Amino acid sequence: MTLIPVEHVLIFSLLLFAIGLYGTLTRRNIIGILISIELMLNAANINLVVFAKTTSLSPETGQVFAVFVIAIAAVTVAVGLAIVLALYRSRKTIFADEVHLLKW
Amino acid sequence: MSGAGCGKEYGKFVKKSVPFFGWGVLCGLWVTLKNFITSYFRKPDEGGIFTVQYPEECLPDFEASRNFPFLVYDETPEKPRCVACGICERECPVKCIHVLMAKDENGKPLRRPAAFDIDYSLCMNCGNCEEVCPFNSIFMDHEHKIAAYDRKDLMRPMQKLLKSNSYFHSIRPRDAEAIDRAIKEAAEKKKAAVPAKPAPSPEAPKS
Amino acid sequence: MVSLFREKTQRADGQVLEINFGPQHPSTHGVFRLHTLVDGETIREVKPVMGYLHRNQEQISENLTYTGFIGFTDRMDYINAIPNNFSFVLAAEKLAGIEVPERADHIRIIMAELARIVNHMAVVGFLLNDLGAAFTPLLYAFRERELILDIFEDLTGSRMMCNYFRIGGVKSDLSEQHLATIKKMAARLPKFLDEFETLLTNNEILCMRCQNTGILSPETAVNSGITGPALRASGVNYDIRKTDRYSLYGRFDFKVPLGKTGDVYDRYYVRILEIRESLNILRQAVAALPRGEFINKKTAAFIRSPRNFKPPVGEAYARTESPKGELGFYILSDGTPQPWRCHARAPSLINLSALETMCVGQKIADMMIILGSIDIVLGETDR
Amino acid sequence: MIFDPVFIRLKALFLDLCARFFPEWVVMLASIVISAVVILVMGPVIMMYLTLLERKLLGRIQNRYGPNRVGIWGLLQPVADGIKMFIKEDIVPAHADKIIHLLAPVVTVVPSLMVFLVVPFGNGMTAVNLNIGILYFVAISSITTIPIFMGSWASRNKFSVLGGMRAAAQMISYEAPMTLAIVPVIMASQTLATATIVESQGGGFGMNWFIFTPWGLLGFIIYFFCAIAECNRPPFDLPEAESELIAGFHTEYSGMKFALFYMAEYMNAFTLSAIAVTLFLGGWQGPFLPSWIWFFGKTFLLVCVMIWFRGTFLRFRVDHLMGFAWKFLLPLSLINILIAGLWFLTPAIAAWALTAGLVVASFFVFVKLNKTFVPEKRTYVLAD
Amino acid sequence: MEILTLAAKIGAYALMTGVLLFALGVVALRNLFHSALCLAAALIGIAGLYLFFRADFLAAVQILLYVGAVMTVIIFAIMLTEHLSGKTTIQHNRQSLPAFLGIAALVTVIAKVILQTPWPVTQKALGAHTSVEGIGTALMTVYVFPFEVISVVLIAALIGAVIIAKRENPS
């Protein structure tokens, strides 16, 4: 692990997080948004693992939390896509900006 | 109308009950395993492997099997038995026979075909021509390897159709003897009754 | 390609697909299209599209002699030619009032029952092939079917296109050697049938797939004119060999197997029982084969000169129990050697009418085996 | 046994040879490259001769000869097939998504080759002795759903989309019971590494292979059914069911791309039965013969059983497929973990009686629960 | 031997740039199916990265859960919602420019923070190689409560997804 300074990996996960955030904000398709959220979660996971390896006392905590984060990500995708399916069935569209009943 | 009740209910044909869930499938596996093992030593006719390696070995032809028609000549190909009467041309269901009667120089029809073509690509091997021919001159062959690169090659002219009587004896011995006997009898009857009007065309009882 | 369901696909919610199980599909037993509206896996609507194999046979019969057309009837139900010849020849004999000698009738029944065994084995084999058994049951069934086809070739000259029946009898006689091979085959077949049944009848996957799929209730079967094993599998006791007692069927005692629920499994098992019954009839017919000529003396001359066979003006309809159902020939004669009109009542075409009622609501995989279980042959449907 | 480590000595010999000429790191690199090359050569060769073995065995089951024209007993038939696949024109449908259509076969082959990494071919002959061996195998075999989707979606044809959906649903629903069937083995051998799993089954003339324990037998049956489902072989070959969907997700593929799909399917069959041998049939453990002969013998025996199944079984329908996995195999595998737990806690004799009874009882309970699977008894009337 | 470590370093950087490229693909590509596949490639790249950090259990779990299960559900959703013709409509809404500027500002701030803080890299942690047993015992002893809560959350999500997505069966 000493091969790469910690800063480089953190910069990398920051960039990954930024790309995910950009994707979430700009994509019209809800599935596209869900995919970008996955990217952000993964960026957080990388940070967890890197910190666990370099700085924390008990090295397992990072990886255990990473496993929990993956489980939560699976939950978000499952429920998110169930909503997308129900939406598609009733409205025939899955574009975020077309689903605007609440807007006046 | 529904006959469910009217017949005697045969218990025998009640489907056997299955001892446990996987039993039927296991019996199936046993049957295939048995077939797999016995295929190594069982003889062909009681369930062993009966495949024939085609180009090297060949199944013996049955005598009565009919493939494509051919013309018979007695001595030389120039004198076929066929007299170009055209009955087979008329009776052929798919109209694949074309006959042309020969004429000598001053237009008198000779009792010989000038041209006799059979279109093998049309023929459906029904054997009607053999039945209706009064002069026993057209018969069904056993030869089935007639693939050709071009449809024109399947239009067989007379020279290709003519085959000797000995060939006819080789592929269909029983029918050949019966027909030869009939022709000999008709010839004697005709010789005996030469003064009288020649006997009607010989009836060849099909054996 | 104009779509029959254009408006339905737009309106419906969910994943409604319009699929063509097209003319060249591996399991439609020939050239036949099923235009289906599918929602996910379940079928909403099925429209069979036929006519790809129409060869205009009935029109051809109008300028052929009666003996000439017998060769064409072989090509209607091309899996086994004998039942087609049988009903056409029966119709011609009824038209001209020709009676058939004893020996000829026995030979006809022997050949008809052999053809029934050949057909049922092919059908059961192909049905199981659709179910996915990688050819094993099909090849076991075909191993036995080969013996019968050899008998046909030895006797009639061709394995499947027999062209063997003639008006007033049959073309050639059944010699001792043929009888011996038939007896040997009849002795060997039950052993094969038991092995076939152990492989399949209690097979759990076959039961899961075939039981309660494609149920045909007796009422719809009778109303849509279904005949043959498909009708008997629904429990309706209608077998033309029993009702009409045509030819010599009155003399032989045999049973008619009936199913109860009328699903794919019953149609499969009724056919297996029918093979056993046909063997039964075959043994009785072979035992009771009398001596005598194999064709009516008067009509023997017509083989040599078909033009002289001029049936009186009039019409006749004769029907027989072909392995697929009631196969009937209606012949209208105007006194000339060629029939004025000759129409065949093809069981495959009419059995198809119930396909939609059976398929709606089932899965795609079931539609294929339902089609396989009602046993259609496109040569007969399109004629 | 002098033959046992013959391959290991061969490799060591080669490494000493190149150690004389090259620096230290090249030798390390060389040892990795050697095992990689061996796997890359062995995978396709095994696949080719599996296709021949299958066609020969199926032929014999169906009372006919298998291919016997090319080479003596048809031994050159796979070479002929290979050449045919190269020569065949590679048709890409007009509307197809070109890149994904090209990528799908590649992505199918890569995971099936990667699984060879973990398979213990002999004593000390595992390519890389990962300490998460089995977990690596389960992870890699879960990737195979993605290329099936790519293949079916890129061909833009209704049949392949239907086939793709069915394949993915089948893959997922059979992954769960497979993973849970592996858990008791890990409980018994206290490790994930495949080599140590095989060592823990050694000794006693093969009597303490895991298959000879009640939970091992049940686990093996569950694992074997899931393995067959995982590589789309009959009775679970629904995705490419010829009768309905022509060829499922690889309808639009021909030539070399189809050959890659074909190769992936057979390599999956080989690796899944190899892992089954490692987990339940004592890997390379065996009394006299060298270890790798035992391993390859058992694996080919399992592959022959798969071919035997292909010759006999009919095809499941989609809902039976799902019902069989979720309502029958999954609960059985969960109960199996419970039984394995009991097996380790109770003393020897009681353990046998208790667990064997539990296994049989749970089998019948779940059969009772799934009423639809048990065939109905039918009566037929023989009327006159 | 240092050549191998150099090679490993280059490999790590290459892997990182690869993942970033695939992530850009996820965001930028118009065809939704292509972006989903890019996500799968990115996830496999990240699993490779975990291997590089010698967290091999996590790499296997990442591939098993993310690439095996989550990606399949996403592709199922794409297949069910996109009709086969696949004519790609415009995928990006109007806010792309303001979003880009905002995110660029955020990145510069955080990057400056990262580069300045002296990260306390303890030598002991570097050597320790976390084995699967370690994670297993941690899960079962220290983190047993979150472990149970996660299983409850998963069950709730399962039931919720089924109810939302279930189609009221046509009569």
ipTM, 2 decimals?
A: 0.85
Q: Which of C61-75, D90-104, D246-260 has the weakest average pLDDT?
A: D246-260
More confident residue, E144 or D155: E144
User: Are the Cβ atoms of B206 and C188 closer than 8 angstroms?
Assistant: no
Chain D CB within 8 Å of residue E76 CB:
yes
Report the number of distinct structural domains present in chain D: 1
Most confident range (mean pLDDT) of C258-262, C278-282, D88-92 is C278-282
Per-residue model confidence (pLDDT) at position E169: 63
The 10 Å Cβ neighbour count of residue C140 is 26
User: Are the Cβ atoms of E81 and A88 closer than 8 angstroms?
Assistant: yes
CA distance E25 to chain D (A): 14
Chain D CB within 8 Å of residue C24 CB:
no
C237 CB neighbours in chain D (<8 A) are: 383
Q: Is residue D334 part of a domain?
A: yes
Residue C331 pLDDT > 70, yes or no?
A: yes
A window 58-77, beta carbon within 8 A of E: 58-64, 66-68, 70-75, 77
Report the number of distinct structural domains present in chain E: 2
Residue C105 pLDDT > 70, yes or no?
A: yes
Per-residue model confidence (pLDDT) at position A103: 61
Tell me the average pLDDT across B152-169: 89
User: CA–CA separation, D251 vs D265, rounded Å?
Assistant: 15
- The residue among E20, E52, E114 with the most chain A CBs within 10 A of its CB, best to mutate, is E114
More confident residue, B77 or D265: D265
Q: Which of A12-16, B64-68, C114-118 has the weakest average pLDDT?
A: B64-68
Q: Is residue E92 part of a domain?
A: no
Per-residue model confidence (pLDDT) at position B3: 35
Q: Could you tell me which chains touch chain C, where touching means 3 or more CB pairs under 8 A?
A: B, D
Q: Where among E61, E84, E107 does a domain terminate?
A: E84
E36: pLDDT confidence band, cut at 50, 70 and 90? very high
Among D193, D188, D211, smallest CA distance to D119 is for: D193
Per-residue model confidence (pLDDT) at position B2: 35
Q: Residue B21 is nearest to which of D65, D311, D367, comparing CB atoms?
A: D367
Per-residue model confidence (pLDDT) at position E146: 92
Residue of E nearest to D176 (CA): E69
Q: Which of A1-10, C86-95, D11-20, E116-125 has the weakest average pLDDT?
A: E116-125
Residue of C nearest to B19 (CA): C202
User: CA–CA separation, C316 vs C209, rounded Å?
Assistant: 44
B47 CB neighbours in chain D (<8 A) are: 63
Per-residue model confidence (pLDDT) at position D161: 81
User: Are the Cβ atoms of B126 and C71 closer than 8 angstroms?
Assistant: yes
Cα E19 to chain centroid distance, Å, stands at 10
Per-residue model confidence (pLDDT) at position A56: 66
Tell me the average pLDDT across C120-128: 90
Residues in chain A: 104
E162 CB neighbours in chain D (<8 A) are: none
CATH of the domain at E68: 1.20.120.1200
Q: Which of A15-19, A97-101, D21-25 has the weakest average pLDDT?
A: A97-101
User: CA–CA separation, B139 vs B99, rounded Å?
Assistant: 16
Tell me which H or E stretch contains D98: helix D98-114
Structure tokens at B9: 């209910």
More confident residue, D241 or E165: E165
Q: Which of B46-50, B161-165, E89-93 has the weakest average pLDDT?
A: E89-93
Q: Which of A93-102, C85-94, C248-257 has the weakest average pLDDT?
A: A93-102
Chain D CB within 8 Å of residue E120 CB:
no
User: Are the Cβ atoms of A64 and E128 closer than 8 angstroms?
Assistant: no
Chain B CB within 8 Å of residue D378 CB:
yes
C163 CB neighbours in chain B (<8 A) are: 126-127
Per-residue model confidence (pLDDT) at position B6: 34
Q: Residue D25 is nearest to which of E1, E40, E67, comparing CB atoms?
A: E1
Per-residue model confidence (pLDDT) at position D252: 79
CATH-assigned architecture of domain C100-297+346-382? Orthogonal Bundle (1.10)
Chains C and D touch (3+ CB pairs under 8 A): yes
User: CA–CA separation, E15 vs B95, rounded Å?
Assistant: 77
3-state per-residue secondary structure call for C100-130:
CCHHHHHHHHHHHHHHHHHHHHHHHHHHHHH
Residue D301 pLDDT > 90, yes or no?
A: yes
Per-residue model confidence (pLDDT) at position B7: 36
Residue B196 pLDDT > 60, yes or no?
A: no
User: CA–CA separation, C137 vs D54, rounded Å?
Assistant: 17
E126: pLDDT confidence band, cut at 50, 70 and 90? low
Per-residue model confidence (pLDDT) at position B51: 83
Q: Please provide the average confidence, as pLDDT, over all residues in chain C.
A: 87
Residue C246 pLDDT > 70, yes or no?
A: yes
Tell me the average pLDDT across A19-35: 90
C11: pLDDT confidence band, cut at 50, 70 and 90? low
User: Are the Cβ atoms of D378 and C255 closer than 8 angstroms?
Assistant: no
Among D219, D203, D328, smallest CA distance to D280 is for: D219
Q: Is the separation of the CB atoms in C129 and C371 below 8 Å?
A: no
Q: Could you tell me which chains touch chain E, where touching means 3 or more CB pairs under 8 A?
A: A, D
Counted across chains B and C, CB pairs separated by less than 8 A come out at 123
Chain D CB within 8 Å of residue B25 CB:
yes
Q: Residue A60 is nearest to which of E135, E153, E161, comparing CB atoms?
A: E135
Residue of B nearest to C151 (CA): B62
Q: Residue D61 is nearest to which of B4, B17, B32, comparing CB atoms?
A: B32
Per-residue model confidence (pLDDT) at position D137: 93
Chain E CB within 8 Å of residue D131 CB:
yes
More confident residue, B43 or A74: A74
User: Are the Cβ atoms of A16 and E130 closer than 8 angstroms?
Assistant: no
C8: pLDDT confidence band, cut at 50, 70 and 90? low
Tell me the average pLDDT across C237-255: 89
CA distance C371 to chain D (A): 11
Per-residue model confidence (pLDDT) at position E123: 61
Residues of chain B with pLDDT > 70: what percent?
84
Tell me the average pLDDT across D274-293: 86
Residue of E nearest to D192 (CA): E132
Chain E CB within 8 Å of residue A79 CB:
yes
User: Are the Cβ atoms of D149 and E69 closer than 8 angstroms?
Assistant: no
Q: Is the separation of the CB atoms in D318 and C41 below 8 Å?
A: yes
Domain ranges within chain A, ordered by starting residue: 6-98
Pairing of strands B162-164, B69-73: parallel
C1: pLDDT confidence band, cut at 50, 70 and 90? very low
CA distance B3 to chain C (A): 5
CATH of domain A6-98: 1.10.287.3510
More confident residue, A12 or D356: A12
Per-residue model confidence (pLDDT) at position D110: 92
- The residue among D61, D240, D244 with the most chain C CBs within 10 A of its CB, best to mutate, is D244
Q: Is the separation of the CB atoms in D230 and D268 below 8 Å?
A: yes
Per-residue model confidence (pLDDT) at position D378: 80
Chains D and E touch (3+ CB pairs under 8 A): yes
Among A16, D133, A40, D39, smallest CA distance to E56 is for: D133
Range of the domain at D282: 82-373
E103 CB neighbours in chain A (<8 A) are: 18, 21-22, 25
User: CA–CA separation, C38 vs C19, rounded Å?
Assistant: 7
Residue B11 pLDDT > 60, yes or no?
A: no
User: CA–CA separation, A25 vs E98, rounded Å?
Assistant: 10
Range of the domain at E15: 1-84
Residue of D nearest to B42 (CA): D63
3-state per-residue secondary structure call for B169-191:
HHHCHHHHHHHHHHHHHHHHHHH
Chains A and B touch (3+ CB pairs under 8 A): no
User: Are the Cβ atoms of D314 and C139 closer than 8 angstroms?
Assistant: no
Residues in chain C: 383
D256: pLDDT confidence band, cut at 50, 70 and 90? confident
Q: Report the predicted TM-score, pTM, of the whole model to 2 decimal places.
A: 0.88
CA distance B14 to chain D (A): 4
Per-residue model confidence (pLDDT) at position C118: 93
Four-point Cα dihedral C308, C310, C311, C317, nearest 10: 90
Q: Which of B11-20, C260-269, E157-166 has the weakest average pLDDT?
A: B11-20
User: CA–CA separation, E64 vs E87, rounded Å?
Assistant: 32
User: Are the Cβ atoms of D63 and B3 closer than 8 angstroms?
Assistant: no
User: Are the Cβ atoms of B36 and D373 closer than 8 angstroms?
Assistant: no
- pLDDT tens readout for residues B12-53: 455 556 667 778 888 888 888 988 888 888 887 777 788 888
Residue C151 pLDDT > 80, yes or no?
A: yes
Tell me the average pLDDT across E155-162: 93
- pLDDT tens readout for residues B69-105: 999 888 888 888 888 888 889 889 999 999 988 888 8
